[in-house]
Each structure stands twice: as structure tokens, then as C-alpha cells.
Structure 1
Amino acid sequence: MLEAQRATSPMRRLATVQPTSVGAFTKLWDAKNWGSGWVGETAARPQTTSTQLAPIPFASGEIYAMPAATQRLLDDAAINIDVWLRNSVQAEFSRQEGIAFIAGDGTNKPAGFLSYVTGGANAGTHPGGVIETVEKALDPAASAATVDNLIDFAYGLDAPYRNNATWLMNSLTAAMLAKLKDADGNLIWRESLIVGQPATLLGRPVEIDEAMPAPGLGAMPIAFGDWKAGYLINDRIGTRVLRDPYSNKPFVMFYVTKRVGGGVLDPNAIKVLKQP
């Protein structure tokens, strides 16, 4: 059996994955607005302000498929059709959830991190605010200027997050950035010399996700952030298969479901580059 290959999303490797035993998972957001003040040895010490805690719910969506095969095909095939169907559907689920982790609106599916930017479906739903978009031009013809824009964009992420940050983009964007040179004519893209290790851009690893938008006018083709701190995937129930040979004879129906959710943990941990 020869199968077409599909790119898989790296989000499960990058983000925090939280298995749960209930329909929704909740984290608490600490605004870190503690009050304090300097005092003299015998000065009065009035009460200071306390931080505010706000819940961040992560509900699980559900994805399904229901392919069919005739009983004769299942009986006579030289390969195990049951296993092939299940594996194929699981691969399709992985593709669909990868798309949702990027741009899902949160309705019956994960809320993608791009939906938390200003104007997105989930903008304003996080107590920590929106994910900041930074307008920077990406013009390969103006290599040095574009390199400066990327440096400014990367250092716009706060240091605690920048130390663990990873670039996220699709192949078209990566091809554009791989050609960029600084003012001295040096490529800023570094291909890894170790098999299986990602390339680096400005010293930080690059992950390719084909669900990211392509470069273009007004597009958001690049994200940079600490994904463990910034995004959470809520796994409620893994892939479940119900084999039904009765409802649609002579076909055997394979009812496959999976419950998974996702959303932004900390909007300060992620920055998105928007082309003007």
C-alpha cells in the first residue's frame, strides 16, 4: 500500500499537552499585580493590593469520521483493511487538529493562537489580553532592512520567553527567509548539521507548520514564542473506533471519534509578525 505523504504539525511537540478526565480543563491566571512599598523602620505599613486570579477554561471539541467498507472487501483483502482505515483516519485527525491549533475559532474545536490576536474570534477572552501582532515588512530585495525587522521583532518578545522561543512558519516563508543576508552578506538562516534537528534563525530553532499563513499583504506568516508557556492542548479522549456491521448492510461502518481542545495559556509568550 503506497500512500501520499502529508506534513504533520509540530504543535504537539512544542506546546503543553494536558490529558484530562473531564470535559473541560481550567487554569488560573495570576495578573501579578501585587502592591508593595518602601518604609522606614517605624513607619506605618498599610495594607497593599493583592493580585487578581481569573479562570482560563479549555473545553474539548470533538472530531469524527465514518468511513465504510464492504464486508466482502474486509474478508478478501490481502491487507488488514481495519487497521489501514483506522491509521488513515488517525492521520487525518492529526492534520485537522494541527490546522485548528493555528487558526481554529474555538467552536467545537480548539482555539488556535491566531484567533487571540486583535480582531480574532477569541480576542479579549483571555484575562491576560491579546497576542500582540507586530507590523514588519518582509522584502527579500531589501535583505539588510528585512533582517533588521526580524531582529526587532524577535527582541520584542520579553526575555523570560525569548530564551525558550521557537519560530513557527510554513515552507514558503522559510524559503524566503533562508535567502536573506545581513549587511555583510552573511546568511542569517543556519541549516542544522545534525539529522532531525531544526534549522535556526537568529540563533533560535525554526519549526515548519504548513497550516501557518503564506506571506502576503496583511498576512501573519511568522509566529515567535515560548510555546510550552504560551499554548495548551487538552486531550480528553484519544481516538476511539466503533465498528458497526448492522446499520448499513452490506457495508461495515467505522465510526471514529476523538476529543481534543486547545487554547492560549499566556498571550505574552507569543508574538505574531504581520505584514503591512
Structure 2
Amino acid sequence: MSEDIKTLVSEMGSAFEEFKKSYDEKLDKMAKGQEDSALDAKLAAIEAKMDSYEDINQRMVQSQKSQDALLEQMDRVEVAMRRPNSGFSTKQIDEGISAFDAYCRKGIEGLSPDEKKALTVSNDSTGGYLAPPEYVRELIKDITEISPIRSIARIRQTAQRSIQMPKRTGTFAAQWVAESGTRSETTGYQVGLEEIPAHEYYALVDISEQDLEDSVFDLEAEMQSEFAEQFAKAEGAAFVSGNAVGKPEGFMTNSDVSEVVSGNGTALTGDGLITLVHSVKAEYSANATFVFNRSTLAAIRKLKDTAGQYVFQAGMMLTGGPMTTVLGHPYIQATDMPNVGAGNFPVAFGDFRRGYMIVDRVSLAVLRDPFTQATTGNIRYVARRRVGGQVILPEAIVKQKVSA
């Protein structure tokens, strides 16, 4: 860990110690029926300071969780798009980069015969051309940095519209037998197939013709940034609460994911979170992560267990881990998680890499539309890709319901 990060961890720890001291003081005054506006302002300032460290903390958590998975994912994209049957050779990929940029700037009519030859036509009926593999790799990387669920889930690539995975639906049962007894065949072992479809979604970007005519304008970076943000927001919501109808299934909507109550009809409790952690099997707990949104984090910072200990911890990890944890486990902030409220499920906990799978179709089709926005002097680009998401091991994830 660098000295700068160590300093930040220390500062975060100091800020939380000050927060605990001030919040305990507030609790004492509340018990006496006293109000202290100056103390409230002090607490708000401390919380704002702690919030300022959260972006760094989240990057540390996501980096730690996703580094190996992201490298594996990028390698699979490259292999899938370079294999002989994919239609891409190394030379074609290099030529495809400049041809794709030329297509986006000038349209298919403005390309030379060699540039047209270097492009790959999309197989989809809506047309367009496939982006080169390097573009897809960088786009997925950008999406992963924005979409937090990707940093903790298992990710697979495919060139098809779905993947099928073996799913064990039953197990053999061990039987006791005497040394010379008859060993009858046990029953119960069954294997089925789990299909995870990759659903289509699209993003729109309008870029002015004046920018396109400027050779210095970084068209690729502009499009990549816009597409990544739009794709990440759409899929982030679906991975959490998608209904699996034309979109991924969210882990919060899967009926097989178990739930535990918070112990309070309107709020989270420290002991409720402890119950949540211990409801996950030991084999999943070691790599488990909390998932909640920013407002829920603010509530969790104030929670104590029955022994009076805060469940939120700061400045504890000085060996490369996150700056802050909840009950010793890392957490990620997902905007699309529900807020704390009666009957809501504001927190999920588990080993998402074992429990949730994301399926990326490796191709990305881009259609250049010079007509729709012609009167505004813009060229519209429509990017289409396919992504799926599904709970593959429900017992690895548990969610908490705000209920007594």
C-alpha cells in the first residue's frame, strides 16, 4: 500500500473515531430530551468528510474484487474474437481499427474499397458494423468501472445469444453398509441445464458534424465514454432488480434467494446485520460482500450491536484491503438498491462471484445514422450489444428485509 493510501486510511479512521464520539454524545443528549444544533452540524460535517473518502474506498474494493475476473474477462474477449471462426485475424483487427474510425466519421459511402473490406457487417437485421475487438475490450473495461455489480459477479463471454450451464439439481445420498453387506445404488443425483440468455440493449450518441470533420477530435474516446455510461446504468439496474423479461434477472428479484429480517419494522439494526452475515454458509462467507446504496451506508454508520460496538469500521485495513468495512466485510455501493423502509430489502450479502453470473456477447454493432438528426447538424450513432444476468447459486446470496 502506498504512503498516500496509508495516509487516507489513517485520516478516514480518525474521522470515524470523531464521528463515534460525537454520535455517542448526541445519543446521550437525545436520551435526556436535549437538542444540540451545533453538535448536529458537527456530525454533518464529519459525515461529509467521510463521504469524500468513499469514492477511493469503492475503487479499492472493486479493484480488489474484480482484478482477476477482469483480466480473465478481457482475455476471453480477445480469444473469442481472434479465434479462426470469428472472422478476425491479427492483420484484420489492426486494419479494422482505422476502418471503423473512418466509417464513424464519414459513413460507408466515404470509405475506400480496402476500408470497406476491413469492416465486418453485423449479423443482426438492424444493420451496422461490428466494432474492432480492442474497442470492445476497452468498452467493457469502462462499463466494469461504472457498474459495481460487475466487479463482484462471475462473468462469461459468448458469441451466441445465450449460454447453457450444467446445474446440479440433486445429489447422491451416502449410505451405511456392513462390511459384507449389499451395496445398492443410491438415487437422487440429477444434472440439468441452466440457460442464461443475452438480452439486447442499445445506446444513442449524437455527435456534431463539425466535430467529426476535426481530425484532432477523439471520436473513439467520446463514443466509448458515452456508450459505457449508458450501458452501465441500464445493466446496473437490471442486475439488481431486473424481472428477466427481455432483460437480465436481478439478484433481488430471484425468488430462491433467501431473506432474513432486520429485527425492526422500519429500520436496520446492528444485530440484524450480524444475523444476515451468519445466515450465509461458511464456504461463501469468506469472499462475501455487502451491497447497498449510499443512503443505506449513512444509516449503517450509526448502527451498534447489543454490546455497543459499531458495525461499521474504518481505518482497519492497512494491507491493501478496503479502508472501511461492515462487520469486517467489504461493501459496494449500488445506486439501484432499495432505500431503508418498511418492507424493503436495502441490503444484500454473499459471495456474488459464486451466486450471480453475467453473460456478455462479445460483439458490439454500431450503426451510423446521418438522417435522424440531420436538421440539427448531428450524426446519430446507435450501439447495440447483448448482456445477460442470472442467479446461478441462490444459497450464496442472502438479502435483508426491513421487518420486525
SS of 1:63 mapped into structure 2: strand
Secondary structure at 1:253 match in 2: strand
Give 2:203's aligned amino acid: A
Distance 1:9 1:199, change over 3 A: farther
Q: Deviations over 1:30-68 (max 9, x none)?
A: 134202211112112222114111211110011112333
What does 1:239-258 correspond to in 2, within 5 Å?
239-245=364-370, 249=374, 251-258=378-385
Q: Does 1:268 align with 2:387?
A: no
Mapping for residues 133-172 of structure 1, pairs under 5 Å: 133-137=259-263, 146-172=269-295
Q: Is the 8 A contact 2:241 2:250 kept in 1?
A: yes
Task: After TM superposition, list the pairs within 5 Å mapping 1:169-180 onto structure 2.
Answer: 169-180=292-303
In 2, distance between residues paired with 1:218 and 1:77?
A: 55
Q: Does 1:131 align with 2:254?
A: no
Match for 2:309 among 149, 174, 186?
186
TM, length-normalised to structure 2: 0.58
Aligned pair in 2 of structure 1 residues 181, 135: CA closer, same or farther (>3 Å)?
Answer: closer
Which whole-Å CA distance do the structure 1 matches of 2:276 and 2:252 have between them?
17
1:35 aligned counterpart, secondary structure: coil
The SS at the match of 1:116 is: coil
- Identity of paired residues, percent? 31
Name the stretch that deviates more: 230-239 or 258-267.
Answer: 230-239
Residue correspondence of structure 1 range 29-40 to structure 2 within 5 A: 29-40=167-178
Per-residue CA deviations over 1:155-176 (Å, capped at 9, x if unaligned) read 1111111122111111111111
Return the structure number with greater relative CO, CA threshold 8 A, min gap 6.
1
Structure 1 pair 50/139, CA: closer, same or farther in 2 (3 Å)? closer
Unaligned runs of 5+ in 1: 118-129
**TM-score between both structures, scaled by the size of structure 1:** 0.83
Task: Choose between structure 1 and 2: higher helix proportion.
Answer: 2
Rounded to whole Å, the distance in 1 between the matches of 2:241 and 2:147 is: 13
Do structure 1's residue 205 and structure 2's residue 330 form an aligned pair? yes
Give aligned pairs, total: 257
1:31/1:229 Cα in 2 relative to 1: closer, same or farther (>3 Å)?
same
Q: Indicate which of 14, 38, 43 corresponds to 2:181.
A: 43
- Residue 15 of structure 1 corresponds to which residue in structure 2? 153
CA contact under 8 A between 1:140 and 1:176: conserved in structure 2? no
Q: How far does residue 183 in structure 1 lie from its aligned partner after superposition?
A: 3.7
CA contact (8 A) 2:205 2:226 kept: no
Task: Name the SS for the 2:296 alignment partner.
Answer: helix
* C-alpha displacement of 1:82: 5.8
* Alpha-carbon contact 1:140-1:179 (below 8 Å) kept: no
C-alpha displacement of 1:85: 3.6
Pair 1:98–1:247, CA change in 2 (3 A)? closer
Tell me which of 175, 191, 203 is aligned to 1:53. Answer: 191
Q: C-alpha separation between the residues in 2 aligned to 1:75 and 1:162?
A: 55
Tell me what 1:237 maps to: 362
Greater CA deviation, 23-32 or 183-192? 183-192
Structure 2 residues without counterparts, runs of 5 or longer: 1-54, 56-144
Q: What SS does the corresponding residue of 2:164 show, helix, strand or coil?
A: strand
* Superposed counterparts of 1:82-121, under 5 Å: 83-117=221-255
- Structure 2: distance between partners of 1:158 and 1:82: 45
Distance (Å, rounded) in 2 between the aligned partners of 1:57 and 1:75: 46
Max Rg structure? 2
